[in-house]
A and B are shown apart, each in its own frame.
Chain A
Amino acid sequence: MSEETGAGERFAIGISFGNSSSSIAFTGPDGKAEVIANEEGDRQIPSILSYVDSEEFHGTQAKAQLVRNSKNTVGYFRDYLGKDFKSIDPTPAHQSAHPQQHESTVAFTIRDTDAETPSTVTVSEITTRHLRRLKQSASDFLGKTVNAAVITVPTNFSDAQREALVAAAKNADIEALQLIHEPVAALLAYDARPDAVVEDKLVVIADFGGIRSDVAVVASRGGMYSVLATVHDYELGGANLDQVVIDHFAKEFIKKHKVDPREDARGLAKLKLEGEATKKALSIGTNATLSIESLVNGIDYGSTINRTRYELLSGKIFSQFTGLVESAVKKAELDVLDIDEVILAGGTSHTPKIARLLQNVFPEKTKVLAPSTTPSAINPSELSARGAAYQASLIQEFDKEDIEQSLHPMVTVTPHLSKTIGVQLVSADENAEDAVFAPLVNAETALPARRVAQYTVPKEGGDVLVRISEGEREIKVTKPEPKPKAEKSEKDEEDSDSDSDFDSDEDEEEETREIIWKSTKTIAEAAIKGVKAGGKVEVTININPDLGLQITAREVGGKGGVRLAVEAPQASANGSA
């Protein structure tokens, strides 16, 4: 199956390229993706470049330069790539080199050479330099020159942005084999684990980053992924939480010394740097310290904060995160009950409280994959890089032409089942409508598809009727019977202005809600005669892209069985392409 003798010498890694930080990962011979640390030992490498005396600093070292050398330091540039100046939001770059208009693109004016006059460097060039450093770090670690990569991008990255990224990578001598979407990469990172089982599931991937957050709802069917809905928030991210920590300490500082360190550019830069570190410490421990030398006016400052306090102060922001997830589920026209898994990705997902709040939003059976809720969870910061590395290992042997052909819309645009198909186990005495409907092929399954399932027949055996039908899920709401004293009105946690106690989510779910399957249209019926007592019936369904289907029903271990074919529906006006 694997093409060992593929294209020439290609050595590919996975790169997750973020506004705040980037990661590099590779897949070893054992098929396990591994995130590579750079020479400073960082796995999350800040996407920052800084220039001091014509020397280039990268990553954490460059980040430290935000305090003393902010004008020659470039950060938060990923989202500027391939955009024109008018459409960008320069706020995140406020503390570093400012973006400015340069011809049709965005550029920064920095002193990156010995020359007297600062030079204008386009965002593409900055990206190239950043990718070159990442490539160098990976090459050094692996002892082999990296010349290709799979790079992750947000789902709403425009074609112009994609092209600009591929071009920037090319200038860094990296062949961008494929750009894959961040949420899908995160999902792939989980599904590529050796112990993972391919199953049909609806997954919400919440990517909480530094300066933006993205949530995607993805249908995973037979190992293939279809994005159902995405939401983006460009004003929500870890930076908001940093601000909470900064404000807390700044207020404490003012009380003591009567000066606001936030009004001093350098003081603010120092607070930002240390505040972020304190916030990260609070994700691991229940107490964290902050100490800054000469914060402002030469005053040293040190203090501590505990997690409870921090969570109290961040309550509003936490509920924005959960609100974003809920809005994505709503946008996909789904209910939280439909969701099987929630994958938390991005650095901010380390926050234990966010994972716990999301657990309250979703029913108990929904798995919330985050370090604080699932011990086997993968580090949220590493997910997309790992997914990219895995994809890179899958396609690096392919010819360029092969990859391009596979990405063509002819291949990726596929009919998806609009209704769930299931098997109804019909019994004689029961009303046929009430018969239990068991989903077999879920809605949103890409076609063609094939599914097999076994069903137990009644103890006594005998003749069995298998009815294949389409079904819909309904949500049955059962109000609690006994005295609803002081009935709580359904309140929207968005506008509960009282300093939001977290319990509001729990109070809301007074009634029990459950999923009920209802069959809507019978497709075919088949009779299987003389099934042994305690036997099982196996049903196989094959669906073609034109919606024709073949069904086989037979007794397990028995011979023959019933085979039937259902014609494809008459091609309607919007028939399948």
Chain B
Amino acid sequence: PPLPAGWSAEKDYKVLSSLTSAVQRNIEPVGPHFLAHARRKRHNRTFSEDERI
């Protein structure tokens, strides 16, 4: 999709709004991906930090 004519922004991007608020739900504590998530959360790590270890 080509850039519409006359579109411009600083550093080529603009932020227009933020996300709609989230809903709190329970995730099922099951499966390898959850266990990885739990590990990150317990150690307060982000994805990339987790990958480095």
Contact = CB atoms under 8 A, between A and B. Distances in A.
A316 B6 CA distance: 64
A444 to B, nearest CB: 7
Contacts of B21: 418, 547, 569, 572, 574-576
A414 B27 contact: yes
A225 B19 CA distance: 22
A451 to B, nearest CB: 11
The 10 closest A-B pairs by CB, nearest first: A223-B33, A415-B22, A463-B3, A406-B38, A427-B1, A526-B13, A569-B18, A428-B4, A225-B28, A425-B1
B25 A413 contact: yes
B42 A405 contact: yes
A411 B28 CA distance: 10
B35 A395 contact: yes
B42 to A, nearest CB: 6
A411 B42 CA distance: 8
A446 interface: yes
A188 B11 CA distance: 45
Contacts of A527: 3, 7, 9, 12-13
A549 interface: yes
Nearest to A192: B31
Contacts of A218: 28
B1 A464 contact: yes
A540 to B, nearest CB: 11
Contacts of B13: 524-527, 562, 564
A529 interface: yes
B2 A427 contact: yes
B28 A523 contact: no
Interface of B: 1-5, 7, 9, 11-35, 37-39, 41-42, 46-47
Interface string A197-225: 01000000000000000000010001111
Contacts of A395: 35
B4 A447 contact: no
Contacts of A394: 31-32, 35
12 contacts: A411-B37, A414-B25, A414-B26, A415-B22, A418-B21, A426-B1, A450-B47, A465-B3, A525-B9, A526-B12, A547-B18, A566-B15
Interface in A416-432: 416-419, 421, 425-428, 432
Contacts of B37: 224, 411, 446
Nearest to B53: A1
Interface string A372-408: 0000000000000001000100110000000001110
A63 interface: no
A417 B51 CA distance: 24
Contact of A180 (B15, B30, B41): B30
Contacts of B22: 415-418, 447, 547, 576
A148 B7 CA distance: 63
A181 B25 contact: no
A154 interface: no
A462 interface: yes
Contacts of A458: 1-2
A524 B13 CA distance: 7
A576 B30 contact: no
A548 B19 CA distance: 8
Given A411-B29, A416-B22, 18 more contacts: A188-B30, A225-B30, A227-B28, A411-B42, A412-B27, A413-B26, A414-B27, A419-B20, A446-B37, A448-B47, A463-B3, A522-B16, A524-B14, A524-B15, A527-B13, A542-B47, A564-B11, A567-B15
A413 B24 CA distance: 6
A523 B12 CA distance: 15
Contacts of A226: 25-28
Contacts of A23: none
A162 to B, nearest CB: 13
Interface string A533-577: 000000000110001110000000000001011111100101111
A175 to B, nearest CB: 17
Contacts of B28: 180-181, 184, 218, 224-227, 412
A341 to B, nearest CB: 16
